[in-house]
Amino acid sequence: MNILLVGSGAREHALAWKIKQSPRCDRLIMAPGNPGMADLGDVVPVPATDIAGLIHLAKQQRVGLAFVGPEDPLAMGLVDALNEQQIPAFGPTKEGARLEADKAFSKKLMRETCIPTAEGRTFTTLRSAMAFVESRTEPLVVKASGLARGKGVIMCDDPVEAIDAVRNIMEKKIFGDAGNTVVIEERLVGHEVSLLAFVDGNSAYIMEGAQDYKRIGDGDAGPNTGGMGSFSPAPRLTDEIINKVQAEILVPLLDALRRQEIDYRGIVYTGLMLTPGGPKALEFNCRFGDPETQPLMLRFNSDLIEIAMACVERRLDACTLNWKPQPAVCVVMASEGYGWKPDDQAQKGREITGLAEAARVPGVQIFHGGTALRDGKLVTAGGRVLSVTALGDATAEARERAYAAVAKIHFEGAQYRHDIAAG
Ligand code: AMP
Ligand code: GLY
């Protein structure tokens, strides 16, 4: 079968690497892909948000399954458009993608379904949001309701910061129209973990746990980013907690989606805070996590296409998910300025060297995110440049291998965290 993978980040590179191992994959077409993905199949320069272009490509290439990586095309209705053409697609429809693309919708659904989550309220005017913030004294979290590349959340230590955050989002529009509506929540304290599940419209099959690092700096210092590293499994996600999440969060979520006649097939990513009062949902995403997918794919021991087709055909209950017992660790190497400046101001065009040597470190896979080819040379082309990922017999070994590979890779201004999976 010909498979179309949509997206161009390191998450998609990891998915492509795994899809390519499936005996069901004849040709892999990636749009728009990146230079690291080129030796896995055909990289076609159709942007992930060009819905008409992707439909044309899928028809032209007689695609048997379209696998959608990022949230933007899902929120724009790519899967709806593929379904209209009878092209099987892995990922939720536009309505389902609101779980991630519309935090106000997601919060309302959580509240109506009694899913444990932070107390929160939604506002559509600056005045009402300001009045609410001014009446509070506790630390708050202010969120743009729409999609903001994982950056639309501002953590505030005191009301002054919260007032600034509301002004920045609703008045100065730092996240554009994504900030027309804001969700303001109590700030939860605890450890954060990610739990991803395959969903076939009826049931959810939970994957092994993973944990990511959102802040740019060691020891969780500095601004939030798209994710600076990750590891799997996550020892904090005990069987007891996973059972609780299944019963208190995922089952009620799927029931609520069904009640609203949303036919959800694809991935549900639950961002969880492990609080003293039990696990609480911070957010839902409608796709694989980045960078959680990188270690998860190294560990996944089933046929990803078989499982994706089972989701599409609603027969997940006949499948089992197998995992390698070995842990995996991913260290993200980012461009100079990434995290501190807007993404489009990250330094680009810097030559990357040492990849071949780094790839020879045992257990290591290097997934490209923001790279490009210029005059035959590999250069940086975005914020998160590379996801250096390694499998090992223990987390310590996976970590050592990932950092040994990182040490062999060079580009000017490279920044990465030194404490990924450090305990
Ligand atoms: P979200 O996109 O809603 O997951 O938010 C991004 C990040 O902000 C999360 O991964 C958390 O680190 C943090 N966050 C979001 N909501 C809360 C909350 N209510 N309390 C504490 N941290 C939060
Ligand atoms: N790792 C966070 C995300 O994918 O949203």
Q: What share of the chain is helix, strand, coil (3-state, %, to 5)?
A: 35, 30, 35
Render pLDDT for 120-170 as a digit per residue (tens, 0 to 9).
999 999 999 999 999 998 999 999 999 988 788 999 998 899 999 999 999
What residues pair up with 135 in beta bridges, in sequence order? Answer: none
CA of 227 to the centre of ligand 2 (A): 6
Q: Is the CB of 100 under 6 A from ligand 1?
A: no
d(CA 350, CA 369) in angstroms, rounded, equals 14
Q: Is the CB of 101 under 6 A from ligand 1?
A: no
Render pLDDT for 353-386 as a digit per residue (tens, 0 to 9).
999 999 999 999 999 999 999 999 999 999 999 9
Could you tell me the two tokens for 76?
């724009």
Measured from the alpha carbon of residue 71, the closest ligand is 2
Render pLDDT for 13-57 as a digit per residue (tens, 0 to 9).
999 999 999 999 999 999 999 999 999 999 999 999 999 999 999
Residue nearest to atom 3 of ligand 2 (CA): 289
CA of 131 to the centre of ligand 2 (A): 31
Instruction: Indicate the CATH number for domain 191-318.
Output: 3.30.470.20
How far does the chain reach from its first CA to its final CA, in angstroms?
A: 42
Instruction: Please give the pLDDT value at position 344.
Output: 66
Q: Is the CB of 182 under 6 A from ligand 1?
A: no
Q: Do domains 119-186 and 328-406 have the same CATH topology?
A: no
Q: Is the CB of 78 under 6 A from ligand 1?
A: no
Q: Is the CB of 153 under 6 A from ligand 1?
A: yes
Mean pLDDT of the chain: 96
94: nearest Cα among 109, 72, 125: 72
* Domain-wise residue ranges, the chain: 2-93, 119-186, 191-318, 328-406
What is the percent of the chain with per-residue pLDDT over 70, rounded to a whole number? 99
Q: Is the CB of 253 under 6 A from ligand 1?
A: no
Render pLDDT for 172-197 as a digit per residue (tens, 0 to 9).
999 999 999 999 999 999 999 999 99
Measured from the alpha carbon of residue 273, the closest ligand is 1
Q: Is the CB of 133 under 6 A from ligand 1?
A: no
Ligand 2, residue 150: give the atom nearest the CA. 5
d(CA 211, CA 18) in angstroms, rounded, equals 20
Chain centroid to Cα 197, Å, comes to: 13
Instruction: Please give the pLDDT value at position 343.
Output: 67
Instruction: Indicate the CATH number for domain 328-406.
Output: 3.90.600.10
Instruction: Tell me if 48 sits within 8 A of 72, measured CB to CB.
Output: yes
Q: Is the CB of 159 under 6 A from ligand 1?
A: no
Name the class of domain 119-186: alpha beta
Q: Is the CB of 215 under 6 A from ligand 1?
A: no
Tell me the best of 143, 290, 294 to mutate to test the pocket of ligand 2, counting ligand atoms within 8 Å of each CB and taking the most.
Answer: 290
d(CA 116, CA 278) in angstroms, rounded, equals 8
Render pLDDT for 231-267 as a digit per residue (tens, 0 to 9).
999 999 999 999 999 999 999 999 999 999 999 999 9
Instruction: Please give the pLDDT value at position 121.
Output: 95
Whole-prediction pTM: 0.96
Ligand 2-lining residues (CB < 6 angstroms)? 150, 212, 227, 285, 289-290, 292
What would you measure as the largest C-alpha separation in the chain, in angstroms? 60
CB atoms within 10 A of CB 241: 18
Ligand 1, residue 185: give the atom nearest the CA. 19
Residue nearest to atom 18 of ligand 1 (CA): 187
Render pLDDT for 296-346 as a digit per residue (tens, 0 to 9).
999 999 999 999 999 999 999 999 999 999 999 999 999 999 988 776 677
What fold is seen in the domain 2-93?
Rossmann fold (3.40.50)
